[in-house]
Structure 1
Amino acid sequence: MDRKYITLKNLVIEQKKCIGLKFYTDKVLQALVNDLPEVKWSEDYGMDYLLNSPENLDLVFKTFRGVAWINCNHFYSRSSFGRQQETIDVEWFRKRMPVEGKRHCPENYLSKLQLKCYAKNTVRTYVSCFENFMNYYRERSLQELDENDIRLYLQHLIRENRSNSYLNQAINSIKFYYEVVLEMPNRFYAVERPRAEEKLPQVLAKEEVFSIIENTNNIKHRCIVSLLYSAGLRRCEILNLKPDDIDSKRMVIKIRSGKGNKDRYTILSEKLLKNLRTYYVKWKPRNLLFEGPSGHAYSAESIAKIVKEAANRAGIRKRVTPHMLRHSFATHLLESGTDLRYIQVLLGHKSTKTTEIYTHVATNIFFKIKNPLD
């Protein structure tokens, strides 16, 4: 006989935190539930519930011990929000001038973002998305909103032709408030996400990459563009590089606190190393490998501008971005026969599934296929 089980859910009913008790119809379980103090039935959620308190939670475990397995996957958090180690400054959001009729992000939301050390871009995205959600329901308390309200808001975004990426960002920002700030893990687990868009990465031909490098303004810009391509770096990784991260003896580059707060090594080009030595003698960087005139770090926008202007001078009509050079690095390695696992390590991908996208744009497999027209 299969063992009975009961699933705990985080619910908010009449603006109070509650423990939802979901299970298949069973006389024994129902009798035990009925004996719990002040247990009630919710038509909206289709389950019994009682107030969420340490005492009630302990009682639930004691009541069903040895009788049913308690599934807490939707009740306790299994993930860790915020993995970056950079210092986050949310003061700008706190000091904004109030706009009449518009609600600003709650202080506990900002404080939690700061405590969790989210990346700056993520902080901006979460605050913007969550404030849009708040102001869509500006006449209502956040505590009284439920799954149906979120679905209605997402339908509103769809009618506005928002991208799937924006929809997912909106869901993340909303879940962060209810599940992390208000400490109700998996509260909106059942909210449907849009289907993932399977877009292929845009890749440049080797000749185009070399032409972009040749059309940079100076040795510093040439080194920046060459690093993006030859080491498969992200913009933020270029900005955080220090001179000591270039290991000429082992011919590797150390990437500190990359995406997901992970360190890794990637390959160093001998041709690039010569240019880096020339650059180092001429520019004498102090703290970071690439610094502005005042010694401050380059901005992400400056990196994008360097790549764009060099591509324009090279006569490339398509819009070229720094990340396109990273995609090209991975694709060209794959086309030259490099094992996918090695490429995954160089890029810092957590899973080979992320790296496998490049198998769809690598052209070496197509050369083996005879076109029926020929």
Structure 2
Amino acid sequence: MTWAAKLIKHKSENRIAVYFEKNQDLIARIKQIEGARWSQQKTVWHIPDTIENRERFKIESLANSLPSPEGIVHIEKFKQWLRSKRYSESTLTSYSEALKSFLVFYREKPIADITNEDVIVYNNDYILKNNLSASYQNQIVNALKLFYRTVQNKLIVVDAIHRPKRSKSLPNVLSKEEVKLILNAHSNIKHKTMLSMIYSCGLRRSELLNLKFSDIDSKRNIVLLKNAKGKKDRIAPLSPKILKMLREYYIAYKPKTWLFEGQNVGEMYSEYSLQSVLKQALQKVGNTKPVTLHWLRHSYATHLLESGTDLRYIQELLGHSSSKTTEIYTHVSTKSIQQIKSPFDDL
């Protein structure tokens, strides 16, 4: 077994979340399922909740899996605590779902009696047995550490809950030529501008969709990203080319509330539709790589580094809290590597 699945609520819709280690073959297979989507917020692939898909992933028994009554009460209290600390709704959903998975596993055991040894058993008998990813396990750890800080009379030692060893996967990066083809694939000015904004400003998908026209400062050539990931505001520079595209787009569409709106006036453009815009661009240029919108952000950072931009500035532009997060781009930059001459050439 190389995957695990469970029922989730995503934007008030019943979906089936499918968890697996990062694998291009599995990603390609799940993309073939009608209605399959990638959730950047939940960091998981999810598919429509249908009888066929339930049978395909054998999750009938999971539909009725609930924590104990005590567990349900604690999950609700945990949600209230997260809200009072002003965690985002996406984080609240991720952490409460992760906690639910753990408390379902221990539905027969009082919460105050759960120990660190039980966490290890859960890791082995649920996480590892079902081949769930290290990132999912890490999400469980985050949820448990926060949750048990709110529980009184506990046996568990919060600081002793260990994390999985981090996998050292590198970000996916496109060449400038590939990016240019993708950004120029659409003749529709709206679609072209959305993809161009993500690359030219290094935006996350949610950051683009939450932009309002008032966030564009054409006099200072910047875009203001309000309440971005981690509830941090930051600014990103706007190139003259993007400003020109934005003016053309505004004349054509005249958005009312959001910079990029859906079919209905005042309605935010959907994540799924934005992903479809990228998918169509890839098909038009014949790019068969499993490119996601985040690849454009990775490419932006890497291309800045290769052009000589200081890593500290790139950290600020991307909104990374830690420089270690930004340093990963030094491992995919080809500027220095291309200058190394292979001894094979001298044979």
Q: Distance in 2 between matches of 1:166 and 1:232?
A: 25
Query: Is the counterpart of residue 234 in structure 1 residue 198 in structure 2?
Result: no
Structure-2 change in CA distance of 1:183 and 1:361 (3 Å):
farther
Aligned position for 1:59: none
- How far apart are the structure 2 equivalents of 1:358 and 1:174? 31
1:348 aligns with 2:309: no
Partner Cα separation in structure 2 for residue 354 and residue 172 of structure 1: 18
- Percent of paired sites with the same residue: 45
Q: How many aligned residue pairs are there?
A: 277
Higher helix share: 2
Instruction: Please give the per-residue CA displacement for 1:55-105, whole angstroms capped at 9, x wherever unaligned.
Output: xxxxxxxxxxxxxxxxxxxxxxxxxxxxxxxxxxxxxxxxxxxx7562264
Distance change (3 Å), C-alpha of 1:313 and 1:256: same
- Give, as a single letter, the amino acid of the residue that structure 2 aligns with 1:229: Y
The answer on 1:223 being equivalent to 2:187 is no
Q: Answer whether contact 2:222 2:237 (CA < 8 A) is retained.
A: yes
Code of the residue aligned with 1:326 in structure 2: it is R
Q: Partner residue of 1:267? A: 237
Specify the alignment match of 2:121 in structure 1.
152
Instruction: Say whether residues 1:252 and 2:217 are aligned partners.
Output: no
Following superposition of structure 1 onto structure 2, how do residues 79-94 of structure 1 map, counting pairs within 5 Å?
A: none
Q: Which segment is superposed worse, 199-208 or 148-157?
A: 148-157
Partner Cα distance (2:310, 2:66) in 1: 53
Q: Is the 8 A contact 2:202 2:300 kept in 1?
A: yes
Query: 1:140 corresponds to which letter in structure 2?
Result: K
- The one-letter code matched in structure 2 to 1:283 is Y
Shift of 1:182: 4.7
Of stretches 331-340 and 308-317 in structure 1, the one that deviates more from structure 2 is 308-317
- Asked whether the 8 Å contact 1:228–1:238 carries over to 2, the reply is yes
Say which of 255, 263, 267 aligns to 1:296: 267
Moved segments of 4+, more than 4 Å: 181-184
Partner residue in 2 for 1:287: 257
In structure 1, C-alpha distance between the alignment counterparts of 2:114 and 2:153, rounded to whole Å: 16
Number of the residue aligned with 2:307: 336
Deviation of 1:310 (Å): 1.0
Give the direction of change, closer, same or farther, for the CA distance of 1:100–1:160 in structure 2 (3 Å limit): closer
8 Å CA contact 2:145, 2:161 repeated in 1: no
The 1:320–1:134 alpha-carbon spacing in structure 2 relative to 1, beyond 3 Å, is: same
Q: Please give the alpha-carbon distance, in whole angstroms, between the structure 2 residues aligned to 1:118 and 1:237.
A: 17
Q: Which residue of 2 aligns with 1:125?
A: 94
Q: Please, which of 180, 189, 197 is the counterpart of residue 159 of structure 2?
A: 189
Residue 205 of structure 1 is matched in structure 2 by 175
C-alpha separation in 1, matches of 2:64 and 2:236: 51
Which stretch of structure 1 is more off in the superposition, 145-154 or 300-309? 300-309
* 1:138 alignment counterpart: 107
* Cα distance change on mapping 1:181 and 1:299 into 2, 3 Å: farther
Check 1:240–1:183 CA distance in 2 against 1; reply closer, same or farther (3 A cut).
farther
Question: For the Cα contact (< 8 Å) 2:203–2:297, is it kept in 1?
Answer: yes
Give how far 1:110 is off.
Answer: 2.4
Q: Secondary structure, in 3 states, of the residue corresponding to 2:224?
A: strand
1:197-239 Cα shifts (integer Å, max 9, x gaps): 1110000011111111111251111111001100000011101
Bigger radius of gyration: 1
**What SS does the corresponding residue of 1:263 show, helix, strand or coil?**
strand
Give the aligned residue type for 1:340.
Answer: L
Alignment partners' CA distance in 2, 1:316 and 1:363: 21
For structure 1, which segment, 240-249 or 276-285, has the greater mean C-alpha deviation from structure 2 after superposition? 240-249
Give unpaired runs (5+ residues) of structure 1: 1-98
8 Å Cα contact 2:311-2:326 kept in structure 1: yes
**Equivalent position of 1:363 in the other structure:** 334
Among residues 58, 66, 81, which one is paired with 1:102 in the alignment?
66
* Unmatched segments (≥5 aa) in structure 2: 1-62
Deviation per residue, 1:286-313 (Å, 9 max, x gap): 1211111222111222222211221121
Distance 1:105 1:315, change over 3 A: farther
The 8 Å contact of residues 109 and 181 in structure 1, kept in 2 or not, is answered as no
1:257 to partner: Cα distance = 1.0
Q: CA deviation at 1:175?
A: 2.1
Query: Is the 8 Å Cα contact of residues 344 and 355 (structure 1) preserved in structure 2?
Result: yes
Distance 1:363 1:158 in 2: 36
Once residues 188 and 152 of structure 2 are traced to their aligned partners in structure 1, the CA distance between those partners, rounded to angstroms, is: 52
User: Counterparts of 2:310 and 2:193 in 1: how far apart (Å)?
Assistant: 27
In the aligned structure 2, how far is the partner of 1:183 from the partner of 1:257? 36
* Shift, 1:109, TM fit: 1.9
* Cα deviation digits, residues 246-303 of structure 1 (max 9, x gap): 1111111111111111111111111111111011011111121111122211122222
Q: Residue 162 of structure 1 corresponds to which residue in structure 2?
A: 132
Q: Under a length normalisation based on structure 2, what TM-score does the superposition of the two structures give? A: 0.75
